[in-house]
Amino acid sequence: MKYQTAIVVGASSGMGRELVRQLAASGTKVAAIARREERLQELVNEFPGLVTPIVHDVTDHDAIPELFQTITRDLRGLDLFIYNSGAMPIVEVKEFTWEKDKQMLDVNISGAVAWCNQAADRFLHTNHGYLVGIGSVAGDRGRHKQPVYNASKAFFHTYLEALRNRGVCVSTIKPGPVDTEMTAPLNMKGMMSAEQAATIILSKADKNGEHYLKLAHRIAFYIIKRVPSPIFRKLKI
């Protein structure tokens, strides 16, 4: 068992759910955090004694510091923290709906900072523990379809880089499209399964730095990031 204890925020579906399952399968005690209690209960039923369900909405920022201490107390430690929550409502081209944008800002930025600050503060003091932030390739450029989602992930990447520069061991994961509930409305083909993504994420959890899930993504986004803005604008991607 690589990690004795872990917290996964955003654990009820997709990659988060798979991360909990794979950690618990290896014997890790996991606090699984999400809003949907029934989904968490399924994980508890699958791994009794290893998964602790915590019903929580990441936009309830003020509750987070105390909840974090309670969870770490009950887990008796923390080796791995994964922030996986993310909101990506469908936004039409040229749509500017504040409610949708605010939801993304609350979950992808404020929730992320409120949770990751707790983990980073702890890990800095103990000089122990790994922080994993699930970002996105979408954060690498400002694309016309999802301005706020892109910007929120770019913020998260920069924030995580800053934590690394403060001395915390942080793994920033930049998945491409993964087959989850969040991406289902996109109707994309050839997406990586959540199970496969979780396996790769866990293999990179203790590696300080930014990580793509596929070599092809790494190469593609190396190039995409360097495309000059006037050209990128015309590509319409």
Partner 1 sequence: MISTQRIARVAGYGMTQAADAYVYRPTCVEEINKIFDEARTAGRKVTLRGAGRSYGDGNIGSETLLIDITRMNRILSWDASTGIIDCQSGVTIENLWRFCLEDGYWPPVVTGTMYPTLGGALGMNVHGKNNYCQGTMGEHVIDMDVLFPNGELKTLTKDDDLFYAVISSAGLLGVITRVKLQMHHVASGNVDVWAEAAQNWDEQFALFEKYEHNSDYMVSWVDCFAKGAKAGRGQFHGAWYKDREDLASRVAEKQDLPALILGFFPKSLVWKVLKLVCNRPGMRFLNAAKQFASSTIGNNKMHDQSLVAFSFLLDYVPDWRKAYEPGGFIQYQTFIPKEHAKAVFAEQVRLQQEYKLESFLGVLKRHRPDKFLFSHAVDGYSMALDFKVTAKNRVRLWELAHKMNDLTLKHSGRFYFAKDSTLRPEDAAEYLGEGLPKFRKLKSKLDPEGLLVSDLGRRLKLS
Told to check if 166 binds partner 1 by CB under 8 A, we report: no
Q: Which is nearer to partner 1, 45 or 127 (CB)?
A: 127
Among the listed residues 24, 64, 78, 197, the single contact to partner 1 using CB under 8 A:
78
Q: Which is nearer to partner 1, 36 or 128 (CB)?
A: 128
Told to check if 73 binds partner 1 by CB under 8 A, we report: yes
Phi and psi of 33, rounded to 5°?
-115, 130
Among the listed residues 37, 60, 66, 95, the single contact to partner 1 using CB under 8 A:
66
CB 130 within 8 A of CB 80: yes
Helix (H) or strand (E) holding 224: helix 215-224
Q: How distant is the alpha carbon of residue 19 from its chain centre?
A: 11
- Which entry of 3, 83, 130, 149 is annotated as an active-site residue? 149
What is the C-alpha end-to-end distance of the chain, expressed in Å?
42
Q: Would you say how long the chain is, in residues?
A: 237
CB 80 within 8 A of CB 126: no
Told to check if 29 binds partner 1 by CB under 8 A, we report: no
Told to check if 77 binds partner 1 by CB under 8 A, we report: yes
Told to check if 229 binds partner 1 by CB under 8 A, we report: no
Angle at 223 between CA 217 and CA 228, to 5 degrees: 140
Q: Which residues in 120-136 are b (16+ Cβ under 10 Å) and which e?
A: bebbeeeeebbbbbbbb
Only one residue has tokens 């509750």, namely 63
Told to check if 65 binds partner 1 by CB under 8 A, we report: yes
Among the listed residues 9, 15, 40, 72, the single contact to partner 1 using CB under 8 A:
72
Q: Give the span between the Cα atoms of 147 and 25, in whole angstroms.
A: 38
Segment near partner 1 (CB under 8 A), from 51-59, 67-75, 84-92, 166-174?
67-75
- Measured from the CB of residue 1, what is the shortest distance to partner 1 in angstroms? 12
Q: Give the span between the Cα atoms of 204 and 130, in whole angstroms.
A: 10
Q: Give the span between the Cα atoms of 78 and 118, in whole angstroms.
A: 11
Q: Which is nearer to partner 1, 119 or 173 (CB)?
A: 119
- Measured from the CB of residue 129, what is the shortest distance to partner 1 in angstroms? 8
Told to check if 128 binds partner 1 by CB under 8 A, we report: yes
Helix (H) or strand (E) holding 93: none
In the annotation, is 159 catalytic?
Answer: no
Segment near partner 1 (CB under 8 A), from 86-94, 120-128, 133-141, 148-156?
120-128
Q: Which is nearer to partner 1, 69 or 193 (CB)?
A: 69
* Residues annotated catalytic, as ranges: 149
Interface with partner 1 (CB under 8 A): 65-66, 69-70, 72-73, 75-78, 118, 121-122, 125-128
